């Protein structure tokens, strides 16, 4: 049995475009057979293990049924941390800088995560307006996260994110989660809090982490 590009993308929980790019770059050992790139399941598993990626086979559905419930925006933000003066003068360089600061992500996964975030931005900007963006992968790119997290980054300078209001972004809140269910819940709850203009203004003032967490606690209560 051989796996196609589509099956590899599904098992790695990655966009097909990422797998194609890795093939062109020689990063993944797929071989061309009659014009189609394929790989043996055992070889994919060994390669994924070497690169600290999860292979999602048929057993993944049963495992996801036992996923923990999302425990709130405040715990997610505390897990993700708050960082200041994140460097970069354009969208992609800012994302590279932010990724290297995110807790619970291994250095070996930085390039993968950054590529996934950039690909998401190419589909549609995560700039929600008012100087804030919510970068997030379309799905978990294979990160071993126990719980969802939100990493808040205050940029050293505002950058163009092609936001819906064309305003440059100075605050990134990077959302990472293990499952789609957790992601949708977290994104929905955070988006609801950010509808509050007073909270957005407070956030743009670059408050200290403790002040941010206190404000979130009050709003969630």
Written as tens digits, the pLDDT of the chain (221 aa) is 788 888 888 888 887 878 888 888 888 988 888 778 889 888 888 888 888 787 876 444 444 445 677 899 999 999 999 999 999 999 999 999 999 999 999 898 899 899 999 989 988 899 999 999 999 987 777 787 888 999 999 999 999 999 999 999 999 999 999 888 888 899 999 999 999 999 999 999 999 999 999 999 999 88
Query: Which CATH number belongs to the domain containing residue 194 in this structure?
Result: 3.40.930.10
d(CA 128, CA 203): 14
Total structural domains in the chain? 2
Contacts of 164 (CB under 8 A, 6+ apart): 125, 127, 128, 129
Together in a domain, 81 and 41: no
Together in a domain, 97 and 202: yes
Q: How many C-beta atoms surround the C-beta of residue 123 within 10 A?
A: 9
Together in a domain, 105 and 212: yes
Q: Is residue 63 part of a domain?
A: no
Together in a domain, 46 and 111: no
Q: Which domain holds residue 195?
A: 73-220
Q: Report how far apart, in Å, the C-alpha atoms of 27 and of each of 15, 32, 37, 112 are.
A: 15, 14, 13, 11
Number of residues assigned to the chain:
221
């Amino acid at each position: 049995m051989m796996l196609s590009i589509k099956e590899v993308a599904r098992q790695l929980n990655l966009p097909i475009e990422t797998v194609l790019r890795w093939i062109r770059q020689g990063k993944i050992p797929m071989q061309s057979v009659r014009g189609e790139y394929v790989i043996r399941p055992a070889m994919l598993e060994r390669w994924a293990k070497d690169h600290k990626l999860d292979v999602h086979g048929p057993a993944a559905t049963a495992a996801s049924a036992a996923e923990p419930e999302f425990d709130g925006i405040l715990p997610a933000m505390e897990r993700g941390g708050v960082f200041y003066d994140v460097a970069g003068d354009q969208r992609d360089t800012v994302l590279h800088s932010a990724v290297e600061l995110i807790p619970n992500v291994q250095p070996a996964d930085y390039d993968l995560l950054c590529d996934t975030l950039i690909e998401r931005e190419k589909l549609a900007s995560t700039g929600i307006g008012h100087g804030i963006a919510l970068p997030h992968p379309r799905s978990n790119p294979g990160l071993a996260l126990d719980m969802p997290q939100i990493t808040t980054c205050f940029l050293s300078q505002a950058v163009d994110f092609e936001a819906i209001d064309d305003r440059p972004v100075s605050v990134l809140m990077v959302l990472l989660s293990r499952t789609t269910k957790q992601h949708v819940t977290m994104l929905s709850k955070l988006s609801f809090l950010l509808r509050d203009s007073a909270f957005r203004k407070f956030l743009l003032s670059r408050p200290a982490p403790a002040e941010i967490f206190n404000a979130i606690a009050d709003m969630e209560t």
